[in-house]
Amino acid sequence: MKVIPARIFLPFGLIAALIMTFGCGGSSTSQPSQPGTPSGSNVQEITVNTGPAFNYVDGAFTSVTVCSPGSATNCQTIGGILVDTGSPGLRILSSALTVSLPQQTDSGGSPIVECGEFGSGFTWGPVETADVKIAGEQASSLPIQVIGSPNFSTIPPNCSQGQQSLNDLTNLGANGLLGVGQSIQDLQTYYACPSLGCTVTNEGLAQQVQNPVASFATDNNGVIIELPSVSGAEASVSGSLIFGIGTQSNNGLGSATVFGTGPFGDFNTTYQSTQYPSFLDSGSNGIFFLDSTTTGLTVCADTNLLYCPTFPQTISVLNNAETGTNGASGTASFTVGNADTLESNPNNTAINGLAGPQPGSFDFGLPFFFGRNVYVAIDGKSTPGGTGPYTAY
Protein backbone atom coordinates (compact mmCIF):
# COMPACT_ATOMS: atom_id res chain seq x y z
CA MET A 1 0.00 0.00 0.00
CA LYS A 2 1.07 3.52 -0.68
CA VAL A 3 -0.32 6.85 0.50
CA ILE A 4 -0.70 9.75 -1.90
CA PRO A 5 -1.27 13.16 -0.30
CA ALA A 6 -3.97 15.16 -2.03
CA ARG A 7 -4.93 18.52 -0.56
CA ILE A 8 -7.55 20.91 0.77
CA PHE A 9 -10.19 18.45 2.05
CA LEU A 10 -8.34 15.13 1.86
CA PRO A 11 -5.04 14.45 3.56
CA PHE A 12 -4.48 11.04 2.01
CA GLY A 13 -5.68 8.66 -0.66
CA LEU A 14 -4.58 5.05 -0.29
CA ILE A 15 -3.17 2.94 -3.08
CA ALA A 16 -1.42 -0.39 -3.02
CA ALA A 17 0.03 -3.28 -4.93
CA LEU A 18 -1.53 -6.71 -4.61
CA ILE A 19 -0.80 -10.31 -5.89
CA MET A 20 -0.42 -12.91 -8.79
CA THR A 21 -1.81 -14.69 -11.86
CA PHE A 22 -5.07 -15.79 -13.45
CA GLY A 23 -6.58 -17.61 -16.37
CA CYS A 24 -9.29 -16.61 -19.00
CA GLY A 25 -8.78 -14.79 -22.29
CA GLY A 26 -10.14 -12.32 -24.76
CA SER A 27 -10.19 -8.66 -25.67
CA SER A 28 -12.86 -6.00 -25.63
CA THR A 29 -13.66 -2.46 -26.64
CA SER A 30 -17.17 -2.55 -25.21
CA GLN A 31 -18.52 -0.09 -22.65
CA PRO A 32 -18.01 -1.05 -18.99
CA SER A 33 -20.81 -2.75 -17.15
CA GLN A 34 -23.01 -0.28 -15.31
CA PRO A 35 -23.98 -0.33 -11.64
CA GLY A 36 -27.44 -1.47 -10.69
CA THR A 37 -29.31 -1.39 -7.37
CA PRO A 38 -28.52 -4.78 -5.84
CA SER A 39 -29.92 -6.17 -2.62
CA GLY A 40 -29.14 -9.25 -0.57
CA SER A 41 -27.25 -10.54 2.42
CA ASN A 42 -23.99 -10.08 0.53
CA VAL A 43 -24.53 -6.37 -0.18
CA GLN A 44 -23.12 -3.57 1.98
CA GLU A 45 -23.89 0.10 1.35
CA ILE A 46 -20.96 2.43 0.72
CA THR A 47 -21.12 6.21 0.61
CA VAL A 48 -18.74 8.77 -0.84
CA ASN A 49 -18.69 11.61 1.67
CA THR A 50 -16.34 13.66 3.85
CA GLY A 51 -15.57 10.77 6.17
CA PRO A 52 -15.54 10.96 9.99
CA ALA A 53 -12.82 13.63 10.01
CA PHE A 54 -14.82 15.80 7.57
CA ASN A 55 -11.74 16.20 5.38
CA TYR A 56 -12.12 13.66 2.57
CA VAL A 57 -13.04 13.83 -1.08
CA ASP A 58 -13.47 10.73 -3.25
CA GLY A 59 -13.43 8.32 -0.34
CA ALA A 60 -15.92 5.42 -0.20
CA PHE A 61 -16.92 4.75 3.41
CA THR A 62 -18.88 1.97 5.07
CA SER A 63 -19.37 0.36 8.48
CA VAL A 64 -18.22 -2.91 10.01
CA THR A 65 -19.22 -4.76 13.16
CA VAL A 66 -16.47 -6.27 15.32
CA CYS A 67 -17.14 -8.68 18.17
CA SER A 68 -15.02 -10.45 20.69
CA PRO A 69 -14.56 -13.92 19.16
CA GLY A 70 -17.56 -16.12 19.80
CA SER A 71 -19.62 -13.38 21.46
CA ALA A 72 -22.99 -12.17 20.20
CA THR A 73 -23.15 -9.27 22.66
CA ASN A 74 -19.62 -7.92 23.12
CA CYS A 75 -19.82 -6.16 19.76
CA GLN A 76 -19.42 -2.71 18.23
CA THR A 77 -20.50 -1.30 14.87
CA ILE A 78 -18.00 1.27 13.58
CA GLY A 79 -18.75 3.67 10.74
CA GLY A 80 -16.39 5.82 8.71
CA ILE A 81 -14.35 2.86 7.48
CA LEU A 82 -12.62 3.50 4.14
CA VAL A 83 -13.14 0.76 1.53
CA ASP A 84 -9.77 -0.02 -0.06
CA THR A 85 -9.45 -2.49 -2.93
CA GLY A 86 -5.74 -1.74 -2.93
CA SER A 87 -4.87 -3.58 0.28
CA PRO A 88 -5.91 -6.61 2.34
CA GLY A 89 -7.06 -6.60 5.95
CA LEU A 90 -9.13 -4.67 8.46
CA ARG A 91 -7.44 -1.87 10.40
CA ILE A 92 -9.31 0.16 13.01
CA LEU A 93 -8.18 3.22 14.93
CA SER A 94 -7.81 2.52 18.63
CA SER A 95 -9.64 5.79 19.29
CA ALA A 96 -12.72 4.43 17.48
CA LEU A 97 -12.69 1.00 19.11
CA THR A 98 -14.49 0.49 22.42
CA VAL A 99 -15.00 -3.28 22.45
CA SER A 100 -12.28 -5.35 24.13
CA LEU A 101 -10.54 -7.84 21.84
CA PRO A 102 -7.92 -10.51 22.64
CA GLN A 103 -4.32 -9.60 21.90
CA GLN A 104 -2.34 -11.89 19.59
CA THR A 105 0.90 -13.15 21.17
CA ASP A 106 3.86 -15.24 20.09
CA SER A 107 4.89 -18.59 21.58
CA GLY A 108 6.65 -16.79 24.40
CA GLY A 109 3.64 -14.67 25.32
CA SER A 110 4.94 -11.42 23.79
CA PRO A 111 2.30 -9.21 22.12
CA ILE A 112 2.43 -9.04 18.32
CA VAL A 113 2.40 -5.55 16.81
CA GLU A 114 2.32 -4.65 13.12
CA CYS A 115 4.01 -1.92 11.14
CA GLY A 116 1.96 -1.20 8.04
CA GLU A 117 4.45 0.50 5.74
CA PHE A 118 2.96 2.60 2.94
CA GLY A 119 4.47 4.86 0.31
CA SER A 120 4.03 8.08 2.28
CA GLY A 121 3.17 6.96 5.79
CA PHE A 122 2.73 4.07 8.18
CA THR A 123 0.29 2.52 10.63
CA TRP A 124 1.53 1.06 13.92
CA GLY A 125 -0.53 -1.01 16.30
CA PRO A 126 -1.18 -4.42 17.83
CA VAL A 127 -2.71 -7.42 16.10
CA GLU A 128 -5.93 -8.41 17.85
CA THR A 129 -8.55 -11.03 17.04
CA ALA A 130 -12.19 -10.34 16.21
CA ASP A 131 -15.28 -11.75 14.61
CA VAL A 132 -15.97 -9.33 11.77
CA LYS A 133 -19.49 -8.91 10.40
CA ILE A 134 -20.34 -6.99 7.23
CA ALA A 135 -23.82 -7.17 5.72
CA GLY A 136 -24.86 -10.81 6.23
CA GLU A 137 -21.29 -12.14 6.07
CA GLN A 138 -18.94 -13.03 8.93
CA ALA A 139 -15.23 -13.73 9.25
CA SER A 140 -14.56 -15.51 12.54
CA SER A 141 -11.46 -15.08 14.72
CA LEU A 142 -9.88 -12.73 12.19
CA PRO A 143 -6.52 -11.03 12.91
CA ILE A 144 -6.95 -7.26 12.55
CA GLN A 145 -4.68 -4.30 13.26
CA VAL A 146 -5.65 -1.77 15.93
CA ILE A 147 -3.97 1.45 14.84
CA GLY A 148 -2.47 3.87 17.33
CA SER A 149 -3.06 1.87 20.51
CA PRO A 150 -1.76 3.80 23.55
CA ASN A 151 -0.46 0.50 24.93
CA PHE A 152 2.19 0.48 22.20
CA SER A 153 3.10 4.14 21.85
CA THR A 154 6.82 3.60 21.25
CA ILE A 155 7.35 3.10 17.51
CA PRO A 156 10.55 1.40 16.32
CA PRO A 157 12.69 3.74 14.19
CA ASN A 158 12.84 1.20 11.35
CA CYS A 159 9.04 1.34 11.14
CA SER A 160 8.56 5.10 10.96
CA GLN A 161 11.72 5.88 8.93
CA GLY A 162 10.81 9.56 8.85
CA GLN A 163 7.45 8.90 7.23
CA GLN A 164 4.19 10.43 8.35
CA SER A 165 2.18 8.59 10.96
CA LEU A 166 -1.36 7.57 9.94
CA ASN A 167 -2.18 6.60 13.53
CA ASP A 168 -4.91 9.15 14.24
CA LEU A 169 -8.15 10.35 12.73
CA THR A 170 -6.75 13.63 11.45
CA ASN A 171 -4.01 12.00 9.39
CA LEU A 172 -5.86 8.85 8.33
CA GLY A 173 -9.14 10.65 7.65
CA ALA A 174 -11.07 7.49 8.49
CA ASN A 175 -11.90 5.37 11.52
CA GLY A 176 -10.20 2.48 9.78
CA LEU A 177 -9.48 0.70 6.51
CA LEU A 178 -11.41 -2.23 5.09
CA GLY A 179 -8.84 -3.83 2.80
CA VAL A 180 -10.65 -6.03 0.27
CA GLY A 181 -7.88 -6.34 -2.31
CA GLN A 182 -6.59 -9.38 -4.16
CA SER A 183 -4.21 -10.70 -1.52
CA ILE A 184 -5.34 -12.77 1.47
CA GLN A 185 -2.54 -11.77 3.87
CA ASP A 186 -1.04 -8.31 4.08
CA LEU A 187 2.62 -9.44 4.13
CA GLN A 188 3.71 -6.48 6.24
CA THR A 189 6.34 -6.27 9.02
CA TYR A 190 5.50 -7.73 12.42
CA TYR A 191 7.13 -7.24 15.80
CA ALA A 192 7.19 -9.15 19.07
CA CYS A 193 6.90 -6.55 21.82
CA PRO A 194 7.75 -7.76 25.33
CA SER A 195 8.01 -5.15 28.07
CA LEU A 196 11.62 -4.27 27.20
CA GLY A 197 11.06 -3.33 23.53
CA CYS A 198 10.02 -4.56 20.09
CA THR A 199 11.95 -6.74 17.66
CA VAL A 200 11.03 -7.92 14.18
CA THR A 201 9.51 -11.40 14.17
CA ASN A 202 8.41 -13.95 11.60
CA GLU A 203 4.63 -14.02 11.55
CA GLY A 204 2.97 -17.07 10.02
CA LEU A 205 0.55 -16.42 7.16
CA ALA A 206 -2.44 -17.58 9.19
CA GLN A 207 -1.58 -15.13 11.98
CA GLN A 208 -1.11 -12.09 9.72
CA VAL A 209 -3.78 -9.45 9.23
CA GLN A 210 -6.22 -11.05 6.79
CA ASN A 211 -8.56 -9.96 4.02
CA PRO A 212 -11.95 -10.49 5.73
CA VAL A 213 -13.68 -11.56 2.51
CA ALA A 214 -11.42 -14.59 2.06
CA SER A 215 -12.58 -15.86 5.46
CA PHE A 216 -16.32 -15.66 4.76
CA ALA A 217 -18.14 -18.99 4.68
CA THR A 218 -19.56 -18.14 1.24
CA ASP A 219 -19.18 -15.25 -1.22
CA ASN A 220 -15.46 -15.37 -0.43
CA ASN A 221 -13.78 -15.21 -3.83
CA GLY A 222 -13.82 -11.45 -4.37
CA VAL A 223 -15.81 -8.23 -4.30
CA ILE A 224 -17.59 -5.83 -6.60
CA ILE A 225 -17.62 -2.07 -6.14
CA GLU A 226 -20.69 -0.42 -7.68
CA LEU A 227 -20.96 3.36 -7.72
CA PRO A 228 -23.18 5.59 -9.87
CA SER A 229 -21.89 7.97 -12.51
CA VAL A 230 -20.81 11.39 -11.25
CA SER A 231 -21.01 14.49 -13.42
CA GLY A 232 -18.33 16.91 -12.30
CA ALA A 233 -18.68 17.26 -8.54
CA GLU A 234 -21.55 16.22 -6.29
CA ALA A 235 -22.22 16.50 -2.58
CA SER A 236 -22.32 12.73 -2.02
CA VAL A 237 -23.19 9.48 -3.77
CA SER A 238 -24.01 6.00 -2.50
CA GLY A 239 -23.34 2.60 -3.98
CA SER A 240 -22.68 -0.99 -3.02
CA LEU A 241 -19.88 -3.27 -1.90
CA ILE A 242 -20.98 -6.72 -3.07
CA PHE A 243 -19.29 -9.85 -1.77
CA GLY A 244 -18.56 -12.77 -4.08
CA ILE A 245 -18.16 -13.06 -7.85
CA GLY A 246 -20.58 -15.42 -9.57
CA THR A 247 -21.75 -16.90 -6.26
CA GLN A 248 -25.25 -15.40 -6.31
CA SER A 249 -27.65 -13.92 -8.83
CA ASN A 250 -26.57 -10.39 -7.90
CA ASN A 251 -22.80 -10.72 -8.44
CA GLY A 252 -22.25 -12.13 -11.92
CA LEU A 253 -19.46 -10.86 -14.16
CA GLY A 254 -21.87 -9.87 -16.93
CA SER A 255 -20.04 -8.18 -19.79
CA ALA A 256 -17.02 -7.12 -17.73
CA THR A 257 -13.57 -7.68 -19.21
CA VAL A 258 -11.29 -9.71 -16.95
CA PHE A 259 -7.66 -8.57 -16.70
CA GLY A 260 -5.24 -11.07 -15.21
CA THR A 261 -2.80 -9.42 -12.85
CA GLY A 262 0.84 -9.89 -11.96
CA PRO A 263 2.57 -10.53 -8.63
CA PHE A 264 1.48 -7.16 -7.21
CA GLY A 265 -1.99 -6.92 -8.70
CA ASP A 266 -0.78 -4.83 -11.59
CA PHE A 267 -1.74 -4.99 -15.24
CA ASN A 268 -0.55 -2.78 -18.08
CA THR A 269 -1.80 0.46 -19.59
CA THR A 270 -0.71 1.73 -23.00
CA TYR A 271 -0.76 5.50 -23.45
CA GLN A 272 0.57 7.13 -26.61
CA SER A 273 2.22 3.86 -27.70
CA THR A 274 4.10 3.38 -24.42
CA GLN A 275 3.15 0.73 -21.88
CA TYR A 276 3.08 1.45 -18.15
CA PRO A 277 2.27 -0.59 -15.01
CA SER A 278 -1.18 0.12 -13.59
CA PHE A 279 -3.73 -0.97 -11.01
CA LEU A 280 -7.28 -0.25 -9.82
CA ASP A 281 -7.65 1.09 -6.27
CA SER A 282 -10.77 2.43 -4.61
CA GLY A 283 -8.64 3.73 -1.74
CA SER A 284 -6.96 6.37 -3.87
CA ASN A 285 -8.90 9.60 -4.14
CA GLY A 286 -7.87 10.49 -7.69
CA ILE A 287 -6.53 9.01 -10.89
CA PHE A 288 -2.80 9.47 -10.52
CA PHE A 289 -0.81 8.91 -13.70
CA LEU A 290 2.41 9.83 -15.48
CA ASP A 291 3.68 13.43 -15.38
CA SER A 292 2.90 16.77 -16.98
CA THR A 293 5.73 16.45 -19.49
CA THR A 294 4.38 13.12 -20.76
CA THR A 295 0.69 14.03 -20.67
CA GLY A 296 0.89 17.71 -21.58
CA LEU A 297 -1.49 18.42 -18.68
CA THR A 298 -0.85 21.50 -16.55
CA VAL A 299 -0.38 20.98 -12.82
CA CYS A 300 -2.13 23.32 -10.42
CA ALA A 301 -0.41 26.60 -9.58
CA ASP A 302 -0.73 26.05 -5.85
CA THR A 303 0.33 22.39 -5.80
CA ASN A 304 2.14 19.97 -8.08
CA LEU A 305 0.08 17.05 -6.74
CA LEU A 306 -2.96 17.59 -8.96
CA TYR A 307 -3.69 18.48 -12.58
CA CYS A 308 -5.42 21.76 -13.50
CA PRO A 309 -5.98 21.83 -17.28
CA THR A 310 -7.78 24.91 -18.58
CA PHE A 311 -10.55 22.72 -19.99
CA PRO A 312 -11.54 19.15 -19.04
CA GLN A 313 -9.57 16.58 -21.00
CA THR A 314 -10.61 13.07 -22.00
CA ILE A 315 -7.76 10.57 -21.71
CA SER A 316 -8.03 7.33 -23.70
CA VAL A 317 -5.84 4.33 -22.92
CA LEU A 318 -5.59 0.63 -23.75
CA ASN A 319 -5.53 -1.63 -20.71
CA ASN A 320 -3.91 -5.05 -21.03
CA ALA A 321 -3.70 -8.03 -18.72
CA GLU A 322 -0.31 -8.61 -17.16
CA THR A 323 2.06 -10.53 -19.40
CA GLY A 324 1.75 -14.26 -18.86
CA THR A 325 -1.86 -14.19 -17.70
CA ASN A 326 -5.03 -14.25 -19.79
CA GLY A 327 -4.06 -11.77 -22.53
CA ALA A 328 -7.22 -9.67 -22.26
CA SER A 329 -7.23 -6.05 -23.44
CA GLY A 330 -9.73 -3.24 -23.66
CA THR A 331 -9.93 0.49 -24.20
CA ALA A 332 -10.86 2.82 -21.37
CA SER A 333 -11.31 6.56 -21.02
CA PHE A 334 -11.52 8.98 -18.14
CA THR A 335 -11.79 12.71 -17.60
CA VAL A 336 -9.17 15.00 -16.11
CA GLY A 337 -10.67 18.24 -14.84
CA ASN A 338 -9.29 21.36 -13.25
CA ALA A 339 -8.79 20.41 -9.60
CA ASP A 340 -9.09 24.02 -8.43
CA THR A 341 -12.51 24.29 -10.06
CA LEU A 342 -13.64 20.83 -8.99
CA GLU A 343 -12.73 21.43 -5.34
CA SER A 344 -14.02 25.00 -5.19
CA ASN A 345 -17.25 23.98 -3.43
CA PRO A 346 -16.40 22.50 -0.02
CA ASN A 347 -19.79 20.74 0.10
CA ASN A 348 -18.84 18.44 -2.78
CA THR A 349 -17.11 15.17 -1.90
CA ALA A 350 -17.76 12.98 -4.98
CA ILE A 351 -15.56 14.44 -7.69
CA ASN A 352 -15.16 12.98 -11.17
CA GLY A 353 -12.09 14.31 -12.94
CA LEU A 354 -9.77 14.67 -9.96
CA ALA A 355 -6.35 13.54 -11.12
CA GLY A 356 -2.69 14.16 -10.54
CA PRO A 357 0.80 13.11 -11.61
CA GLN A 358 2.45 9.84 -10.65
CA PRO A 359 5.49 9.36 -12.88
CA GLY A 360 5.78 6.06 -14.73
CA SER A 361 2.50 4.40 -13.76
CA PHE A 362 -1.30 4.58 -13.62
CA ASP A 363 -3.23 4.45 -10.36
CA PHE A 364 -6.90 4.21 -11.33
CA GLY A 365 -8.39 5.59 -8.12
CA LEU A 366 -11.98 6.10 -7.06
CA PRO A 367 -13.01 8.48 -9.90
CA PHE A 368 -12.42 5.57 -12.31
CA PHE A 369 -15.00 3.55 -10.34
CA PHE A 370 -17.82 6.05 -10.92
CA GLY A 371 -20.37 4.56 -13.33
CA ARG A 372 -18.64 1.17 -13.46
CA ASN A 373 -18.91 -2.24 -11.86
CA VAL A 374 -15.35 -2.99 -10.73
CA TYR A 375 -14.46 -6.55 -9.71
CA VAL A 376 -11.53 -7.71 -7.57
CA ALA A 377 -10.91 -11.47 -7.47
CA ILE A 378 -8.86 -12.85 -4.58
CA ASP A 379 -5.64 -14.76 -5.11
CA GLY A 380 -6.22 -18.52 -5.55
CA LYS A 381 -10.01 -18.28 -5.40
CA SER A 382 -12.11 -19.86 -8.16
CA THR A 383 -14.61 -17.68 -10.02
CA PRO A 384 -16.61 -17.95 -13.28
CA GLY A 385 -13.93 -15.70 -14.84
CA GLY A 386 -11.05 -17.95 -13.82
CA THR A 387 -8.90 -18.22 -10.73
CA GLY A 388 -7.89 -15.00 -9.01
CA PRO A 389 -6.19 -12.70 -8.70
CA TYR A 390 -7.63 -10.47 -11.34
CA THR A 391 -9.43 -7.18 -11.80
CA ALA A 392 -12.39 -6.67 -14.11
CA TYR A 393 -14.73 -3.92 -15.16
270 Ramachandran zone, left/alpha/beta (phi>0; psi -120 to 50)? beta
| Helix-then-strand count for the chain, H and E | 5, 29
pTM of the model: 0.92
Would the pLDDT of 18 be above 50? no
Confidence band for 162, pLDDT divided at 50, 70 and 90: confident
Say what percent of the chain tops pLDDT 70: 90
pLDDT at 89: 96
The pLDDT of residue 116 is 93
Q: What is the pLDDT of residue 295?
A: 98
Residue 90: closest CA among 49, 62, 71, 110 = 62
- pLDDT tens digit sequence for 312-345: 999 999 999 999 999 999 999 999 999 999 999 9
The string of pLDDT tens digits covering residues 168-203 is 999 999 999 999 999 999 999 999 999 889 999 999
The confidence score (pLDDT) of residue 264 equals 65
Query: Which of the pair, 255 or 2, is modelled with greater confidence?
Result: 255
- Asked if 204 and 186 touch (Cβ cutoff 8 Å), the reply is no
Which domains are assigned to the chain? 2-16+37-215 (2.40.70), 247-392 (2.40.70)
Average pLDDT of the residues in 259-280: 91
Average pLDDT, the chain: 90
Strands 176-180 and 75-84: parallel
| Structure confidence at residue 35 (pLDDT) | 61
Q: In the prediction, which pLDDT does 130 show? A: 98
